[in-house]
Structure 1
Amino acid sequence: MITTKQRAYLRSLANGITPIFQLGKNGIEEAFLRQIEEALEARELIKITVLENSGFETREASDFICEKIGCEGVQSIGSKIVLYKKSEKKPKIELPQGNK
Structure 2
Amino acid sequence: MTGKERAALRAKANSLESYIQIGKSGISDALIKQVDDAITAHELIKIKVHLETTPISPREAADELAKALNADVIQVIGGVIVLYRYNPELHKPKQANPPKNTTAKK
TM-score by length of 1: 0.86
Match of 2:54 in 1: 54
Q: Which has the higher contact order (CA 8 A, sep 6+)?
A: 1
1:54 counterpart SS class: coil
Q: Computing the radius of gyration over CA atoms, which structure comes out larger, 1 or 2? A: 2
In structure 2, C-alpha distance between the alignment counterparts of 1:91 and 1:71, rounded to whole Å: 17
Write out the 4+ residue segments of structure 1 that deviate beyond 6 Å after TM superposition.
none
- Residues 91 and 40 of structure 1, relative CA distance in 2, 3 Å threshold: farther
Match of 2:66 in 1: 66
* Count of residues paired in the alignment: 91
In percent, how many aligned pairs have the same letter? 38
Q: Which runs of 5+ in 2 are unaligned?
A: 93-106
TM-score by length of 2: 0.82
Q: Which runs of 5+ in 1 are unaligned?
A: 93-100
Alignment-mate amino acid for residue 12 of structure 2 = L
In structure 1, C-alpha distance between the alignment counterparts of 2:62 and 2:26, rounded to whole Å: 12
Q: Does 1:31 align with 2:59?
A: no
